[in-house]
Amino acid sequence: MAEIRNYTLNFGPQHPAAHGVLRLILEMDGEVVQRADPHIGLLHRATEKLAESKPFNQSIGYMDRLDYVSMMCSEHAYVRAIEQLLEIEPPERAQWIRTLFDEITRILNHLMWVGANGLDLGAMTLFLYAFRERENLLDCYEAVSGARMHATYYRPGGVYRDLPAEMPKVAESRFRKASDVKRLNQWREGSMLDFLDAFMIDFFDRVDDYETLLTDNRIWKQRNVGIGVVSPERARQLGFTGPMLRGSGVAWDLRKKQPYAKYREVDFDIPVGVNGDCYDRYLVRIEEMRQSARICQQCIGWLRDHEGAVMSGNYKVAPPSRVEMKDDMEALIHHFKLFTEGYCVPEGETYAAVEAPKGEFGCYMISDGANKPFRVHLRAPGFAHLASMDEMARGHMLSDVVAIIGSQDIVFGEIDR
């Protein structure tokens, strides 16, 4: 009788369902996975080492490029670490803006996730709808920072500038007909907050629409229910955070348990799963979108009623205004020193974590008193999630591996760093 051996399969790194550059070595017994060995690092850019050679502020842009689907949340962790070391507190309005944009980022991330995960598992339609909504939110990114993805909007001491009083409008072009332009500009007559308000009111219905496509869909359930089950105890052991941990039934959310920015003052619920399978994680993320929209509405309400500074007045850390520089020598010197040398951060170390859409994104920073960090370590949620791939995929079919990768919400920018 011929010897029967396990078959080794190379999955990726150019596989469309590998979400970037994942290379999986799968040991197969027929179509059943015996062992999964993810090879990562193909997108390793040594962000942490680069940050050691640059003044603090120049690395904020790198944070956007870590998790390029939830840009501002990574910025938030990095900026908070610097603020903790400097012992400065951003103005209240800046904190509300950060809360607002963290939640916009969460919606952006989950939309991308639900669209891409649907695509992986054969639900094509949803991807197009999710991107329609993403477009509107990315316009808000552009309106505040000038960039649609890599915003560099959060700065130590606040945010780069205040929300725009006018939402930029869509112009007619050979790609956009007048009727489309009219429809697109319907919400854009007022300020950015008016636009966001209209969007959030509408958004609850949009999430319901997505659910009609997936939640009770037979194929969707067959692909997700009972796949990649993780018990709460194992989830803690494996370092899961975010929707992965909540999907397993642990009600842990940094926004509630260790609140930062203005999360203490907003009202929202944490959805929790029961079975810890891919389907529960899907349900958790869908509900999180609704909760995020709720938080956004509360932030919009506060921001409408309260004016104020969005950047700290400490000129050692934040630049003075152009107007001031015209006739104040001190302001000019501060500006020059800040942009040539940066600021020195007192000696010490800190760990700042935020609840990023994928889980706990942390920034561990050591300063030796210089104008550059001595060591930065970024704790990416996806790193711990992907590390559990072997355990989650073992015993499942090859096609389930795609569902598991999808439900882990993998983005290689943050895993490889």
Partner 1 sequence: MTSFSERNQPLVRRLESLLGERLVRLDQIRGQLVAQITPRNWLEACQTLRDAEELEFDTLIDLCGVDYLGYSDAEWETAQATSSGFSRGVDELGPGRFDWAHRPEAEQIPNRFSVVVHLLSTRRNHRLRLHCHPDESDFPTLPSLVDLWSSANWYEREAFDLFGIVFEGHPDLRRIMTDYGFIGHPFRKDFPLIGNVTVRYDEERRRVVYEPTEIEPRVLVPRVIRHDSRYVGDQLDRREAPNG
Contact status, residue 213 vs residue 126, Cβ threshold 8 Å: yes
Give, as ranges, the residues between 162 and 181 that touch partner 1 (CB under 8 A). Answer: 162
Contact status, residue 139 vs residue 170, Cβ threshold 8 Å: no
Token pair of 176, please? 């956009």
Question: Of the ranges 27-35, 169-177, 366-374, 397-405, which one interacts with partner 1 (CB under 8 A)?
Answer: 366-374
In the Cβ-directed half-sphere of 177, how many Cα atoms lie within 13 Å? 2
Question: Of the ranges 135-143, 200-208, 263-271, 350-358, which one interacts with partner 1 (CB under 8 A)?
Answer: 350-358
**Is residue 351 helix, strand or coil?**
strand
Question: Least distance from C-beta 237 to partner 1, angstroms?
Answer: 5
Contact status, residue 213 vs residue 332, Cβ threshold 8 Å: no
One of 88, 138, 198, 397 touching partner 1 (CB under 8 A): 88
Query: 313, exposed or middle or buried, with CB in 10 Å at 0-12, 13-18, 19+?
Result: exposed
CB-based contacts of 257, cutoff 8 Å, min separation 6: none
Determine if 16 is a binding residue for partner 1 (CB under 8 A).
Answer: no
Nearer to partner 1 by C-beta: 137 or 363? 363
Determine if 349 is a binding residue for partner 1 (CB under 8 A).
Answer: yes
Question: Least distance from C-beta 187 to partner 1, angstroms?
Answer: 26
Q: Give the DSSP letter string of 9-36.
A: EEE-SS-GGGTTT-EEEEEEETTEEEEE
One of 236, 259, 270, 398 touching partner 1 (CB under 8 A): 236
Nearer to partner 1 by C-beta: 30 or 313? 313
Give, as ranges, the residues between 210 and 229 that touch partner 1 (CB under 8 A). Answer: none
Question: Least distance from C-beta 179 to partner 1, angstroms?
Answer: 39
Question: Least distance from C-beta 340 to partner 1, angstroms?
Answer: 7
> What is the amino acid identity at position 172?
E
Contact status, residue 342 vs residue 373, Cβ threshold 8 Å: no
Nearer to partner 1 by C-beta: 55 or 118? 55
Give, as ranges, the residues between 296 and 325 that touch partner 1 (CB under 8 A). Answer: 307-309, 311-317, 321, 324
Determine if 86 is a binding residue for partner 1 (CB under 8 A).
Answer: yes
Nearer to partner 1 by C-beta: 353 or 401? 353
Give me the sheet containing 375-379, strands edge to edge: 348-356, 359-367, 375-379
Question: Least distance from C-beta 351 to partner 1, angstroms?
Answer: 6
**Is residue 181 helix, strand or coil?**
helix
- Give alpha helix (H) positions in 65-191: 71-86, 92-120, 124-145, 178-184
**Is residue 232 helix, strand or coil?**
helix
Question: Of the ranges 14-22, 68-76, 98-106, 356-364, which one interacts with partner 1 (CB under 8 A)?
Answer: 356-364
> What is the amino acid identity at position 71?
M
Nearer to partner 1 by C-beta: 115 or 273? 273
Contact status, residue 27 vs residue 33, Cβ threshold 8 Å: yes
Nearer to partner 1 by C-beta: 294 or 316? 316
Question: Least distance from C-beta 385 to partner 1, angstroms?
Answer: 10
Determine if 239 is a binding residue for partner 1 (CB under 8 A).
Answer: yes
Long-range contacts formed by 27-30: CB under 8 A, 24+ apart: 28/398
Give, as ranges, the residues between 23 and 52 that touch partner 1 (CB under 8 A). Answer: 40-41, 44, 46, 48-50, 52
Determine if 342 is a binding residue for partner 1 (CB under 8 A).
Answer: yes
Give residue for tokens 């000038």: 146
Determine if 231 is a binding residue for partner 1 (CB under 8 A).
Answer: no
Token pair of 269, please? 């619920």
Determine if 54 is a binding residue for partner 1 (CB under 8 A).
Answer: yes
